[in-house]
């Protein structure tokens, strides 16, 4: 019998062993510090209908910039649907603060310091930085709806930044879910 080398500490082996969260199952843990102070703890969220967790690439990404700016403007409509929102990246505090200021984010809760291991638990694709403006490693986009009981309702993952949902489509879809009491799908 051949013994394989221990690669448990490498990014590749972690990626190969981690499956994305499945609807109707408990969401992974998520605890991050927030720009402006405080801490977001998913387990402490008490939304009427959903917690919308948006994982974004970080300061270096112009597509994330546009997406989060639009999301910030949609917070009132989402709150009316009983949805709490947080956007999270692996950026450090300085980069996250810079994003909020430069991108004109006024109300959106922005979490930072998301670890690569947690990115993997959430099923996010992780990229290695290739430019000086990029961190060494960062998570690719993910959008999750989490029910008040802490279970996953919806998962949308991307391996590139170019496939973000349009905010108006996302809000409309959430409205449909709420108004129709639509069940989670994708759990078979």
> If phi over 0 gives left and psi between -120 and 50 gives alpha, with beta otherwise, what is residue 40?
beta
Q: Residue 24's closest CA among 127, 152, 123?
A: 152
Q: Is residue 5 part of a domain?
A: no
Q: Residue 80's closest CA among 179, 12, 180?
A: 179
pLDDT given at position 164: 84
What are the tokens at 70?
């639009």
**How far apart, in whole angstroms, are the C-alpha atoms of residue 50 and residue 33?**
20
Q: Which domain holds residue 90?
A: 19-180
Dihedral angle over CA of 175, 140, 11, 2, nearest 10: 70
Q: Is residue 109 part of a domain?
A: yes
pLDDT given at position 129: 94
Q: Is residue 85 part of a domain?
A: yes
pLDDT given at position 13: 44
- Report how many domains make up the chain: 1
Give the burial class of 110: count Cβ atoms within 10 A of its Cβ; 0-12 exposed, 13-18 middle, 19 or more buried. buried
Q: Is residue 174 part of a domain?
A: yes
Q: Is residue 186 part of a domain?
A: no
Q: Going residue by residue through the chain (188 aa), what tens digit of pLDDT does each one get?
A: 434 344 444 454 445 557 889 999 999 999 999 999 999 999 999 999 999 999 999 999 999 999 999 999 999 999 999 999 999 999 999 999 999 999 999 999 999 999 999 999 999 999 999 999 999 999 999 999 999 999 999 999 999 988 889 999 999 999 999 999 999 999 99
CA distances from 31 to 7, 23, 36, 119 (A): 27, 20, 15, 12
What are the tokens at 82?
């009983």
Q: Is residue 70 part of a domain?
A: yes
Q: Is residue 37 part of a domain?
A: yes
Q: Is residue 167 part of a domain?
A: yes
> Which residue matches tokens 């029910």?
147
């Amino acid at each position: 019998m051949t013994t394989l080398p221990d690669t448990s500490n490498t990014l590749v082996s972690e990626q190969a062993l981690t499956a994305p969260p499945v609807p109707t199952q408990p969401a992974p843990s998520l605890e991050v510090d927030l720009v402006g102070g405080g801490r977001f703890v998913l387990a402490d969220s008490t939304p009427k209908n959903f917690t919308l967790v948006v994982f974004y690439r970080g300061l270096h990404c112009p597509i994330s910039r546009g997406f989060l700016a639009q999301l910030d403007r949609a917070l009132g409509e989402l709150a009316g649907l009983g949805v709490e929102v947080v956007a999270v990246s692996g950026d450090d505090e300085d980069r996250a603060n810079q994003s909020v200021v430069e991108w004109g984010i006024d109300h959106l809760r922005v979490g930072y310091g998301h670890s690569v291991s947690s990115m993997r638990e959430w099923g996010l694709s992780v990229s290695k930085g290739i430019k000086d403006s990029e961190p060494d490693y960062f998570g690719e986009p993910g959008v999750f709806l989490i029910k008040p009981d802490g279970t996953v309702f919806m998962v949308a993952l991307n391996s590139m930044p170019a496939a973000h949902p349009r905010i108006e489509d996302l809000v409309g879809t959430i409205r449909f879910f709420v108004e129709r009491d639509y069940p989670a799908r994708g759990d078979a």
